[in-house]
Amino acid sequence: MSLQPVSPISTRPQGVLFDAYGTLFDVHSVARLGETLFPGKGQAISLMWRDKQIEYTRLVTTSNDGAHYQPFSVLTRKALTYTLKRLVCDATIDAKTFDARMGGAVEQLMLQYDHLSAYPECHAVLQQLQALGVPTGILSNGDLGMLMAAVNAAKLAPLLDHVISVDEVHKFKTHPLAYGLGEKKLGVSASKIVFVSSNPWDALGAQWFGYRTYWVNRNQLPFEELGTQPERTGRDLSDVLSFF
């Protein structure tokens, strides 16, 4: 029987950080509630909401050196308001009328964001990393209250050593200060940490910062065309274990 070569212990990562939204938690699981509230529009609402949410994080981070920063939960609500104005009601609707007509739906959808479905392999992967003695954490754009609500709802808290929010530095990913929080919290350099994301722009930003990266390509999409590739790519979270 032939044995596979064992990587030198110096190359073994000393921690794993996961993006939260889209990586551990399925952001498009809100589409089911959206479909119940607005038949025929659930998927479109989910997709536009997510796109606008990310657009807002970039806008407030890159404009006027972050002077317009707002927490992720606030931007998420504003992105949802924009989406419903575009897809459900009159785009020129005034704020008072919008609140009267859509306030209940907004609250239901925002509450659902605190109870996003975790991907099915999530618990098993985190349990195996814990059994291996590998420190784990979340490094996310989400503010801490929002993240902890999702973590607790998915029963992930006992499997995570850190839940890190970029709200601490008022800079969203892909800003270097956001990624730098991972080094600070784990106490080792980025080159000794695996960063896991299903968002290609996030995996790229982390790779540029210096992390070892694993891109979760669930939908078999092309990676960003900017000359840098993630260290490894797989269909779900399970292949992060290949680093160990």
Instruction: Read off the DSSP letter of residue 171.
Output: -
H helices present in 63-175, as ranges: 72-87, 95-113, 122-131, 144-153
64: amino acid identity, one letter: N
Cβ neighbours, 10 Å, residue 118: 20
166: amino acid identity, one letter: V
- Element (DSSP H or E) covering residue 196: strand 194-197
Contact 140, 19 (CB under 8 A): yes
Q: Which residues contact 133 (CB under 8 A, 6 or more apart)?
A: none
Q: Which residue's entry shows tokens 């929010």? A: 165
Q: How far apart are CA 39 and CA 10, in angstroms?
A: 54
Q: How far apart are CA 93 and CA 185, in angstroms?
A: 45
Q: How far apart are CA 51 and CA 211, in angstroms?
A: 25
Task: Tell me which of 19, 143, 167, 202 is the catalytic residue.
Answer: 19
Q: At 143, give phi and psi (nearest 5°).
A: -75, 160
- Which structure tokens are listed for 84? 């419903």
Is residue 19 among the annotated active site residues? yes
Which residues carry out catalysis? 19
